[in-house]
Amino acid sequence: MTPSLAPYGALVLIPGRGTGTPPSGDSGVSERSGREYTAFVPESLYKRISKEIKKEKFVTPYMVAEKYNMTVSLAKQVLRRLEKEGIVELYAPNRRAPIYIIKS
């Protein structure tokens, strides 16, 4: 399978391993079809986001997702990584919309 790139090279899909086990016997439950994928953001995009994010006063996953054409869950992963690197700091933790402030 060839990887699919979104605009800006934001999303690359890699075939992953399924986590479920097929049903045993005749339980009436059908096996889930399809593949599971793992997504990651290329290093060049991380660098670009970390540079451009410093211009903002605060940032949310939704803002990153809209600007870089990625899913909100992927934007949350990006912001968590930037937090570990010390670029942003979690200001208002929230499961749905955490708010990060930029460290000076």
Q: What is the pLDDT of residues 5-61, one digit of tens each?
A: 455 555 555 555 555 555 555 445 445 555 555 678 889 999 999 999 999 999 999
User: Which residue would you say has higher pLDDT here, 62 or 18?
Assistant: 62
β-strand pairing of 58-59 with 12-15: unpaired
pLDDT at 45: 92
DSSP 3-state of 80: helix
Does residue 42 belong to any structural domain of this protein?
yes
| CA pair distance 76, 82, nearest whole angstrom | 10
When pLDDT is cut at 50, 70 and 90, the band that residue 83 belongs to is very high
Does residue 56 belong to any structural domain of this protein?
yes
Token representation of residue 5 = 């790139």
Does residue 87 belong to any structural domain of this protein?
yes
Does residue 65 belong to any structural domain of this protein?
yes
- Terminal Cα distance for the chain, rounded: 43
Does residue 98 belong to any structural domain of this protein?
yes
CATH code of residue 23: 1.10.10.10
Q: Considering its fold, how many domains does the chain have in total?
A: 1
Range(s) of the domain holding residue 78: 7-102
β-strand pairing of 58-59 with 37-40: unpaired
In this model, does residue 99 exceed pLDDT 90?
A: yes
Does residue 2 belong to any structural domain of this protein?
no
pTM value > 0.75? no
